[in-house]
């Protein structure tokens, strides 16, 4: 559980710093258009911090980390998110400074999203296996009480 908490905390710190970088870097270059820098900030906070906090709650409920699939999910997902955010940051900086971007940047961004998606698939497979299946159906019929009159 600590590993998930540390991941969420790390993404929170990096996400806040990336937001500060986005604001100051665009201000320094008098840039008023759109760039990938703002998206990197939100990806870090939403897909990094918030997602890991949700995983932490699900870990508490279903002990997801007892499966070997959990480690695969954790490292694949985080590698995909790190690659995606690194490429978004690179592309955003190039946009702000007016540099030419290459097709390799788009290809690497796509690769990062693919790896991220594989991590999500592993997460849902693991979650599905850890949720207990019950064959007993809940009794939804109203209860009759025999009270003396």
Neighbours of 106 (CB within 10 A): 12
Q: Give the distance from CA 97 to its chain's centroid.
A: 28
Which are the contacts of 116, defined by CB distance < 8 A and separation ≥ 6?
47, 77, 80, 81, 84
pLDDT at 129 over 90: yes
The proportion of the chain whose per-residue pLDDT surpasses 70, expressed as a percent, equals: 89
The per-residue pLDDT for 63 is 95
Classified as helix, coil or strand, 34 is coil
For residue 76, give both structure tokens.
């694949």
Which pLDDT band, with edges at 50, 70 and 90, does 136 fall under?
Answer: low
55 in Cβ contact with 123 (< 8 Å): yes
Cβ neighbours of 27 (radius 10 Å): 10
Q: Comparing 27 with 106, which gets the higher pLDDT?
A: 27
Using DSSP's 3-state secondary structure scheme, residue 9 falls into: helix
The pLDDT of residue 145: 67
Among residues of the chain, what percentage have pLDDT more than 90? 86
pTM to 2 decimal places: 0.87
Q: Scanning the structure block, which residue is given the tokens 């940051």?
A: 89
Counting beta carbons within 10 angstroms of the beta carbon of residue 16, is it exposed (0 to 12), middle (13 to 18) or buried (19 or more)? middle
């Amino acid at each position: 559980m600590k590993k998930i908490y540390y991941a969420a905390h790390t993404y929170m710190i990096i996400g806040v710093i990336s937001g500060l970088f986005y604001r100051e870097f665009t201000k320094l270059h008098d840039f008023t258009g759109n760039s990938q820098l703002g998206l990197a900030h939100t990806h870090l906070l939403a897909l990094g911090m918030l997602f890991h906090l949700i995983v932490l709650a699900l870990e508490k409920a279903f002990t997801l980390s007892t499966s070997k699939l959990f480690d695969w999910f954790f490292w694949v997902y985080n590698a995909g998110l790190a690659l995606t955010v690194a490429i978004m940051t690179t592309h955003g900086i190039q946009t702000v400074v007016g540099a030419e971007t290459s097709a390799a940047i788009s290809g690497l961004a796509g690769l990062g999203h693919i790896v991220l998606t594989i991590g999500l698939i592993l997460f849902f497979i693991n979650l599905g296996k850890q949720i207990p299946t019950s064959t007993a159906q809940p009794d939804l019929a109203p209860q009759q009480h025999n009270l003396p009159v």
